[in-house]
Every structure is written in C-alpha cells, then in structure tokens.
A and B are shown apart, each in its own frame.
Chain A
Amino acid sequence: MAWRDSRRSRQRLLLFMSAIVLGIAALVAINSFGDNLARSIDEQARELLGADLTLSWNRPPSPKTAQLAKTIGRDRAYEVSFASLVSIPKTGGVRLAQVKGLQGNFPYYGIWEVQPATASRAFRQATNRVALVDDALLVQLGAQPGDSVKVGNLSFLITGRVTKTPGQAAIAATVAPTVFIPAKFLASTGLMERGSRVTYKYYYQFAPGTDVEKYVKTITARLDKDGVNYDTVAGRKKQTGRSFADLTKYLSLVAFVALLLGCVGVASAVQLYVKEKVTSVAILRTLGASGRQAFLIYLIQTALMGLIGAVIGALVGSGVQLILPQVFGRFLPVTVETALSGPAILGGIGTGLLISVLFALLPLLAIRNVSPLRTLRTSYEDDLSGRDPWRWVVYLLVVGFIVGFAWLQTKNLMLAIGFTAGLAVAFGTLTLLGLGLIWLVRKFFPTSWSYIWRQSLANLYRPNNQTLILVTSIGLGAFLIATLYLTQGLLLGRVELSASGNQPNMVLFDIQNEQIAGIRDLVKKQKLPIMQEVPVVTMRLSDINGATEIVRKDTSAKTPKWAFTREYRVTYRDTLISSEKLASGKAPYQTNGAVFVSMEKDFMDRMHLKLGDTLNFNVQGAAIQTIVGGTREVEWNRVQTNFLVVFPSGVLEQAPQFHVLMTRVPNNQTSALLQRELVSRFPNVSAIDLGLILKTVDDILGQISFVIQFMALFSILTGLLVLASSVVISKYQRLRESVLLRTLGASRRQILRITALEYGLLGLLSALSGILLSIVGTWALAQFVFEVPYRPDTLPLLVVALTVTALTVLIGVFNSREVLVRPPLDVLRAEG
C-alpha cells in the first residue's frame, strides 16, 4: 500500500530526500578519507620517520651514550640543526631559516622530493659547498638553484629545490623553511658556538626483520637519563595517526551539521506532504484503516526515500573523498591512497536512514489524528498540530541521536553535549531571528511601497510559507562561512595588535655573552630602542619532591611525562615585568641559600604542583634544587619574552646562556638593514621579524580556512537544496497566485519581478540572520577569548550576503519558471 500510494508522488518524495544526500555525502567522504588516511599512515609509517629509529638531543649526552649512538643499526645518518638567519647575496634577501647539516644516506625510507631529481644524490656525495633549499624559502627570497645562499661565514651553491621531505607536511616548510648543507661544513659557518640552540639527531636503518621496539626498550633508561629523545616508527605512527584522527572526527561533526540541516528540510517537506495527503488518509480511514496503519504507510514511504537518499549520498561521498587529499594538500605528511571504505559507507547509510526517519516522524505523527469526517466535509479542520505526547518522545530521540552521534565521533561526552547544545543555540537563535524579521516586516509593512514590493514582502508570510526553514538552513550556512572569515580576521588582528603602538616588533636571539655589547651598539647605531634584554638558560627537570619520572610513574602522582622530557628555557630576575601579575606567593627570591622560583599559573596547574614543592633542575650538568615560591599570570599575547619558570638573580649568572633583545623597527627597510648587518657581523644571532610571523600566520590560516570552507560548502549546498525542494513543494501555491495575477492582467515581467524579489528578500533575510549570529559569536570570541578590540571586516560579510542572496534568487527563479509559462486557464480548471 505504501508503495502504491507513493506512485504519483515518488519524484517529489525523492526530492525531499535529496536534502540529506549532501549531508551523507560529506559524512561518508570525511569518514572514508579518515579511514584511508589511517591506513596510509600505517602503510607509510617508515616514510614518516625516514628511518627505523631516530635519537636526538639538545645538549651533548654522556660519552657512553654518544658512543652508543655511533654504533646502533646497520647504517646511520647524522643531522645537526639550528635556527639562523640566512641570506641570498644576489638579491640581498634575509630570512630566519632552519639550517640542517646532513651526513649519510637520509632518508632511508620515502622520497626526498628535490628538483632536479639528481640533486639529492649529488648532495649526499658532495665534497664542495652545496645546499638544498626548501621551495618556500627560495620563493620568499627570490632565489633559484644556481644562486648561492650565505649561512654564517660560508656561501653555498644552491643545487636543488626541496619540495617535500619525508615525514614533514608541506605546511611545515612555510613555518620553518630549511637549508640543507653537508655536515662537514658546519663548524666553518661559525654558527656552532657555545650556547647556540643546536639539535643533534641520528637516523638509523636496521637490518630487515629487526624488532626495533624491543631493542629501544633495552636502552630507554639510559636515553631518558641523558635527556635523549627517541622516536620509532610505531611511536610516530601513533602520534601522527592520533592527531589526524582527531581532525577528521571534528570535520565529520561539520559534515553532520550539513546532514542535520538537510533533515530539518526533510521534516518541513514531509509536513507539507502530509497536509496534501490528508484527504487520502481520510479516505483510507473511512474504508477502515486504523490510525496506526495510515501512519505506517507514510512512515514506510519516507523511510524508503530516506534509504535511497542515504545510498545516493554514500555514493557521492565515496566520489568526493577522491578529491579530499587535494583539499588537505599541504597538511598531509603522507600520500593518501584512496579506496572505498565499507564502514564509512555503511555507517553513512545507517545514519541517513535513521535520522531522516527520526525527523520525518514529527510531522508524520499527525497522520494518526486525521478524522474520516474530512471525506464528507472538506471544510472539516482536524487539529493536526495537537498536543501529542509522542512528539516529546520524538524530540528526545532526536536529541539523543545527536548527542550519541557526536559522542561516537569524539568519544567525549561533555564535548558531545556541548556540540548538541551549541547546535540548539544556533538553530534556536536563527529561528528567533527569522521570526523576528518576519514580525518586523509585518509590523512595519511599507504600505506606501509599490505593489510589486508589497506583494513580494507579503509572500514571505503566505500560508504554508517556507520562510523559517529557509532562514534557518541558508542562515546556518551563511553563519558558518561568515564565522570563518571573522575568526580568521580576529586571529590576524591579534597578531597585528601585538605589533601596534610601541610594542616591540623584532626579536634578536641566540646572542652570546661576549656579543651582547656589540649587538647593543649595533641597535643603538641604527637609532632603534632596546625595549627588553633578557638572559635565557636552558635546563631539564630531574625530579619533583625528590621523585624522578621512573618512580613517579608507579605512584598516584599525576605529573605528566612531558614535565621530565621537555627542555625548560628560564630567565632570572627578582621582580615581575609589565606583562606579569602575581597570582600567589611571591616573586622569585632567595633566602638562606634556598632558591624560590616563580611558575606560570596555568603551567603549574598542568604540572599538578603546589607552592612549597621542590623541583630539582639539571642545568647542563649541574644540579640546582629549587622550591616553588609563587605563581604569575602572564599575558602571552604581548610580544615579550615570557617564561614558564623564572629564577631569582644570583643563581644562574655563571651558567651557559644566551640573550634575547627586543627592539622596534619602524619599517621594512630598517628591518632588512638591521638583519643584513647581523648576518655579516654576528652570523649566529637570529632575528624574528613580526611582519614575517604575520605573513606565516596568514598563510597557515588561509590553508586551514580552505579546509573548513570546503566542509562548510556542504552546509551551504544543503541549504540551497532545501531551498530548491521547498520551492518545488510550494510551487502549487505560487502557481495559483501567479496564474491569478496573470488572469487579472499582470505581465510576465511583473510576475518575474515579484518572484525574484521574494527570493531576494528571503536570501537576504537568511544571510543577514546568519551574519548577525556570526557577528555576535565572533564578538564574544574577541571579547572573552582573544581579548582584542572587535572590528569585523565588512567586505567579506558583504560578499557572503550578496552571494547567498544571488544564489537564492537564481535557484528560486529557476525552479519557478513553470509559473511563468503556465497558461492562466488552469486557475479556472482548478476550481473543478
């Protein structure tokens, strides 16, 4: 019966269900991509590391460990890296880069993509001064292979352009582009002086079949003791896999939003469908069908169409995932092999079926209450909306499903509840905005406007209008896109704010004790201010309250493992500076030989420490016992050298250290001049120009926002599909109105203008609702999270508003074209 009844309306039913196609497609695409990415990471794990094992350290390990490092594995490559300013003599360009001195056959696994392809082999065997340089650096400094690059005291001939290094996502080269040089020339660069922040790393290749994990376990204790970091294939796989699994899970929530939008569309379409089917239901009831039977007929119809929609969505999604590796592009550390993912497809179909039925249930419940009396009296009005207690059950099921889905994706109940609540707030606010705007239009109806305007405005609240559903669905899409732009602007604004006013905008670091006077002179000679000058000492934490990491592992203490493995960069002074505020205890001080340090408040919480705890630091071989004497709140978003741990003065003065100096350069020319002077006179000193940071942040945000925009696109497209289907389902009503107007003498042009204006107003209302919500949301972000003044950029918002409006008009008018060509006689025919 369900099948027979749907005969004349299958096409329309299918159209309702098309609203969920894109949501399912997005979901299946992201989950398939996630599966494929996990598999690719698994398969290419060795290429992520480029070796079977790596060992690295920032300070020389014990001679025994150093000796061990030289004997592990079948073959090994050696790398020394540090940050330094490099310059291109030909163009005069200077930039902070990662300098890596390589020796050996790195990489053992994966392809080092260098142009020309022969350059990497030639580099490994080189006896002369050659360099391979990251593409990003060459582009920024206007150089190319054949030019030379100056690193410290030496010039190197650039023989190749590096486009990809194993285990490194392309985006990493934007943040810290690398210059590779043969290790044997490192000493002559003059950059390896005492105190420079240098990382030493060994890459190992083992004989096939070696259990590297098992071997590493035998030397872990010694490596930990010496502060040597180690990374195995399995470890890297786990770490990379986890961060990308998180990414795909959150993106699947974005896809889920598109699906929910589609479902709201389905619910509204089914509601109209039910209204049209009321007479059929009444006839069925007269012939003896129970309310339950009638309900089941239409439930089966919608379930079937939901299934078809979900299957089509899964097919589209499986196709879309093929282009996702290009969308993620520079973020991916491995080459993703795309293949159909069974779990993603089945999961998508199941989700689509379930959620379309759940949302269709709300309007379908009304069918149970249709009275057979309608067959006798057409004017008989049932109370279809009713106060059916089952509605609440359905509401609960819908909320339960959303929370459940979000929990399945994130495995975090609080986050799932937060996501559902956030959605409810967004939907609720958009609905309220939509209602408010309609109310405003009715309340302040412009009676003096021309007929065309008034008719199109009035159409927004015609009976069975779709205004609210469209404001919600298109508005949510506009909200997502506008929020992306505004948040991006906020983040950039925050960095820009740091550079504004009289705040420092250039940081010089790695300044050695004997260089500090020379650097001061250089800065003063350029008539630049010295805004801050601080010493920095690097150290590691050996124990907390007498317990080392190994002991603490077995106790209930919650100290995180990284507390012992990370390197601490600390300074020493007895007072707090302008970016700090005392939170508890005192500023750093010494009494009776006891050293009281000050910790950053949040850091102390993460370490699970309290005032009075003792911390034993290893300062490059020398042990220093300290006590937590106070905490500070630190304004991190100021360009200042801020520290997690501050020592009192009189303790670290003799320790190996380097200095950081901050100044403010008025323009790019002065910045370039200062950096050129630095490269020639103090080659080991590095400089960070805030302009460069701004550019890098902009570049990374651009990449991230492209990925999110791609996902938000599904929401916008779903919104437009909901629009298209609601235009089609409300076509009969508009057809009647337009034909009537034609009968009364309206020209095609007048009808077209009314239709276009109606959809223009609808699109504009939706876009404005979404943008308004987005402005409020990002204002709250600016006010409470980023703490920056809020000045939204109006141009992107204008573009969003106009694009959404234009698309709405286009789709609305395109789907209404039948209205324009239908002969007016139909209006008489409709009277029967």
Chain B
Amino acid sequence: MSILRVENLTKTYSSGGRDLTVLHGVNFTLEPGDTFAIVGPSGSGKTTLLGLCAGLDRASSGSVYLNDVQLDTLNEDERAALRNQHVGFIFQNFQLLPTLTALENVMVPLELRGEKGAGKAAQALLERVGLGDRGHHYPTQLSGGEQQRVSLARAFANRPKLLFADEPTGNLDADTSATVVDLLFELNREAGTTLVLVTHDMELASRTQRIIRFKGGAVVNELVNDRVVEGLTD
C-alpha cells in the first residue's frame, strides 16, 4: 500500500481574468519510508504541489491519495483530522505559535486530538532534539536553529506517517543548517516516516532516495539517488 499517490494533478488559478496553470498533470507514488525531494527554481510550483499533497488546498483536476484516502472526497475538517493523524510539517519560517512555550508548541498536535500525556511525550521529543532544558522558553527567546529544532520535535509529535518539509534550512546559516538536517534525517530514519522535502538546494536534495526536478509546473525528470538507496539497503 502506497502512503502517497498523486494522479494527473493539475492546478489552475484565475488571476486578473486570466487562467494561470501552475501544475500540469503531475504523477508520482511514494511507499512507506521513502525519502523524496522536489527541487526546482522559485515559482516552479513546488509549494503548490506540497500544499495539494497535504490537503491544504484543492486541485483543479486529478487526485491525491494520502494513506489510500482520496483527499478530494473529504471536507476541510476531515482533511484537517487526516493531517493531524498522519502528517507532520516543517516550515522555512518555523511557524511556531508565539504565545506558547517551546514545550507547549510541541504539545499542540497531540492536544488537538485530545491525547493524554502530551506533556511527557513533548518533553521527550525536546530532549531528543537537544532542547530538554528550553521547554519553558518562548519562541522569541530561542535562536533560529533552536526554533527549527522545536519545529522538528513538533513535526514528529503525532508520530506521522508522512513528513512534509518546505525549505527547512532556508532561514538558517550553514552550520545550523547542517545540524538541523542531520537531526531531520536521523529522526526520520528512527520513526520510519516518509519524507517529502521541498528545496532548491541540490546538496540537501541529494540526501533523499528520489528527486523530482520541477520547472514551469511540470516534472522535468526524476532521479533515483542510488547512493542513498544503496546506503539504505546495505
């Protein structure tokens, strides 16, 4: 059973009386545990594709199956529940809630589904990302790298089957980026999560098993990263 299946996905926006197609019939399938990168220049439709895959927006035509559930058939709240159940997110701008502490931010996905013992699980995750002693700090009291680590902990809090990372190192300096990326892949491997990485950084993309190159809303080509695949099969 595939974890994510994209079939003939097309997205068209109306702008100023004109139709603008930003995605043209995209197809791919991801199996559980896959790591997958979508690369391409700015405006190529990467983020639109990621949004559609996560059920954050509706496609103009074509279908997305997440954990074998067709997203187009669900309403907004049902898709939100599905995300809460199976999906984790990491954003370029961290997207932490400024009014909550680091610990509370990590607790949010668990608390939204009314899970008990959210605090313990969140604390364990913070310790895993090396921020066990910073749980009571607010986002503004943390550095960029620390905020992204909190964001990582939050992404894994609900034990997702699928993790979407949108330019996770876009706002970080080189050293911090390396630490965060290492942590991302470690956590991903430990949890056996399927990772979808959107980036224009080929070096980062090269750490995934599969890479699709995007341009003008269409897949230019797909590469299988043998070195990574071999590494995994060793």
Interface-side segment among B61-69, B80-88, B186-194, B202-210: B80-88
Interface string of B128-145 (1 = CB under 8 A from A): 000000000000100000
Tell whether, in the assembled complex, residue A744 and residue B84 are in contact, meaning their CB atoms are under 8 Å apart.
yes
A545 CA to B198 CA, complexed, in Å: 103
Q: Which of A455, A742, A823, A831 contacts B99 (CB 8 A)?
A: A455
Tell whether, in the assembled complex, residue B47 and residue A828 are in contact, meaning their CB atoms are under 8 Å apart.
yes
A744 CA to B118 CA, complexed, in Å: 15
Tell whether, in the assembled complex, residue A741 and residue B50 are in contact, meaning their CB atoms are under 8 Å apart.
no
A741 CA to B109 CA, complexed, in Å: 8
Is A463 interfacial (CB-CB < 8 Å)? yes
Tell whether, in the assembled complex, residue B166 and residue A746 are in contact, meaning their CB atoms are under 8 Å apart.
no
B51 partner residues in chain A, CB cutoff 8 A: 824-825, 828
A747 CA to B114 CA, complexed, in Å: 12
Tell whether, in the assembled complex, residue B91 and residue A744 are in contact, meaning their CB atoms are under 8 Å apart.
no
By size class, the interface of chain A is: 20 to 34
Is A483 interfacial (CB-CB < 8 Å)? no
Tell whether, in the assembled complex, residue B81 and residue A747 are in contact, meaning their CB atoms are under 8 Å apart.
yes
Q: Which of A463, A737, A825 contacts B57 (CB 8 A)?
A: A825
A825 CA to B57 CA, complexed, in Å: 6
Interface-side segment among B33-41, B100-108, B177-185, B224-232: B100-108
Considering only residues 52-85 of chain B, those with a C-beta below 8 Å from chain A are 54, 56-58, 76-77, 80-85
Interface string of A806-830 (1 = CB under 8 A from B): 0000000000000000011101111
Is B89 interfacial (CB-CB < 8 Å)? yes
Is B92 interfacial (CB-CB < 8 Å)? yes
B91 partner residues in chain A, CB cutoff 8 A: 827-828, 831
What is the CB-to-nearest-CB distance from B59 to chain A, in angstroms, rounded to a whole number? Answer: 12
What is the CB-to-nearest-CB distance from B48 to chain A, in angstroms, rounded to a whole number? Answer: 8
Q: Which of B47, B54, B140 contacts A829 (CB 8 A)?
A: B47
Tell whether, in the assembled complex, residue A745 and residue B112 are in contact, meaning their CB atoms are under 8 Å apart.
yes
Is B201 interfacial (CB-CB < 8 Å)? no
A745 CA to B160 CA, complexed, in Å: 12
Q: Which of B80, B92, B107, B113 contacts A831 (CB 8 A)?
A: B92
Is A732 interfacial (CB-CB < 8 Å)? no
Is B111 interfacial (CB-CB < 8 Å)? yes
Is B223 interfacial (CB-CB < 8 Å)? no
Q: Which of B81, B91, B107, B140 has the most CB of A within 10 A?
A: B91
Is A750 interfacial (CB-CB < 8 Å)? yes
A62 partner residues in chain B, CB cutoff 8 A: none
Closest residue on chain B to residue A746 by CB atoms: B112
What is the CB-to-nearest-CB distance from B135 to chain A, in angstroms, rounded to a whole number? Answer: 12
- Given A451-B108, A744-B83, also A463-B92 (CB < 8 A): no
A740 partner residues in chain B, CB cutoff 8 A: 95, 97
Closest residue on chain A to residue B113 by CB atoms: A745
Count residues of B near A (Cβ-Cβ below 8 Å).
39
What is the CB-to-nearest-CB distance from B77 to chain A, in angstroms, rounded to a whole number? Answer: 5
Tell whether, in the assembled complex, residue A748 and residue B167 are in contact, meaning their CB atoms are under 8 Å apart.
no
Is B93 interfacial (CB-CB < 8 Å)? yes
A463 CA to B96 CA, complexed, in Å: 13
- Given A740-B97, A828-B51, also A748-B108 (CB < 8 A): no
SS of A interface (majority): helix
Q: Which of A450, A736, A824 has the most CB of B within 10 A?
A: A824
What is the CB-to-nearest-CB distance from B197 to chain A, in angstroms, rounded to a whole number? Answer: 14
Tell whether, in the assembled complex, residue A459 and residue B56 are in contact, meaning their CB atoms are under 8 Å apart.
no
Is A194 interfacial (CB-CB < 8 Å)? no
Closest residue on chain A to residue B76 by CB atoms: A748
Tell whether, in the assembled complex, residue A743 and residue B56 are in contact, meaning their CB atoms are under 8 Å apart.
yes
B140 partner residues in chain A, CB cutoff 8 A: 463
What is the CB-to-nearest-CB distance from B41 to chain A, in angstroms, rounded to a whole number? Answer: 14
Tell whether, in the assembled complex, residue B84 and residue A745 are in contact, meaning their CB atoms are under 8 Å apart.
yes
B47 partner residues in chain A, CB cutoff 8 A: 828-829, 831
Considering only residues 142-187 of chain B, those with a C-beta below 8 Å from chain A are 154, 158, 166-167, 170
Closest residue on chain A to residue B96 by CB atoms: A740
- Given A463-B98, A745-B113, A831-B166, also A454-B85 (CB < 8 A): no
Considering only residues 711-755 of chain A, those with a C-beta below 8 Å from chain B are 736-737, 740-750
Tell whether, in the assembled complex, residue A828 and residue B50 are in contact, meaning their CB atoms are under 8 Å apart.
yes
Is A461 interfacial (CB-CB < 8 Å)? yes
What is the CB-to-nearest-CB distance from A193 to chain B, in angstroms, rounded to a whole number? Answer: 82
Is A70 interfacial (CB-CB < 8 Å)? no
Is A462 interfacial (CB-CB < 8 Å)? yes
A233 CA to B151 CA, complexed, in Å: 82
A827 partner residues in chain B, CB cutoff 8 A: 56, 91, 95
Closest residue on chain B to residue A750 by CB atoms: B112
Is A530 interfacial (CB-CB < 8 Å)? no
Is A122 interfacial (CB-CB < 8 Å)? no
Tell whether, in the assembled complex, residue B50 and residue A747 are in contact, meaning their CB atoms are under 8 Å apart.
no
What is the CB-to-nearest-CB distance from A470 to chain B, in angstroms, rounded to a whole number? Answer: 16
- Given A823-B56, A828-B91, A831-B93, also A744-B99 (CB < 8 A): no
A830 CA to B171 CA, complexed, in Å: 14
What is the CB-to-nearest-CB distance from B38 to chain A, in angstroms, rounded to a whole number? Answer: 13
A638 CA to B141 CA, complexed, in Å: 65
Closest residue on chain A to residue B78 by CB atoms: A747
Tell whether, in the assembled complex, residue A451 and residue B93 are in contact, meaning their CB atoms are under 8 Å apart.
no
Tell whether, in the assembled complex, residue A737 and residue B112 are in contact, meaning their CB atoms are under 8 Å apart.
no
Considering only residues 462-478 of chain A, those with a C-beta below 8 Å from chain B are 462-463
What is the CB-to-nearest-CB distance from B50 to chain A, in angstroms, rounded to a whole number? Answer: 7
A825 partner residues in chain B, CB cutoff 8 A: 48, 51, 56-57
Closest residue on chain A to residue B48 by CB atoms: A825
Is A435 interfacial (CB-CB < 8 Å)? no
A454 partner residues in chain B, CB cutoff 8 A: 100, 104
A260 CA to B170 CA, complexed, in Å: 46
Q: Which of A451, A747, A829, A830 contacts B111 (CB 8 A)?
A: A451
A825 CA to B133 CA, complexed, in Å: 33
A825 CA to B112 CA, complexed, in Å: 19
Tell whether, in the assembled complex, residue B77 and residue A828 are in contact, meaning their CB atoms are under 8 Å apart.
no
Is A458 interfacial (CB-CB < 8 Å)? yes
A743 CA to B54 CA, complexed, in Å: 9
Closest residue on chain B to residue A461 by CB atoms: B99
A448 CA to B111 CA, complexed, in Å: 12
Tell whether, in the assembled complex, residue B166 and residue A828 are in contact, meaning their CB atoms are under 8 Å apart.
yes
A378 CA to B47 CA, complexed, in Å: 23
A459 partner residues in chain B, CB cutoff 8 A: 99
- Given A743-B56, A828-B56, A828-B166, also A749-B77 (CB < 8 A): yes
6 pairs, CB–CB < 8 Å, chain A vs chain B: A455-B97, A736-B95, A744-B108, A744-B154, A745-B81, A745-B113
- Given contact pairs A825-B48, A828-B91, enumerate 5 new A-B contacts (beta carbons under 8 Å): A462-B98, A736-B95, A737-B98, A746-B80, A831-B91
Spell out A's residues near B (CB within 8 Å): 450-451, 454-455, 458-459, 461-463, 736-737, 740-750, 823-825, 827-831
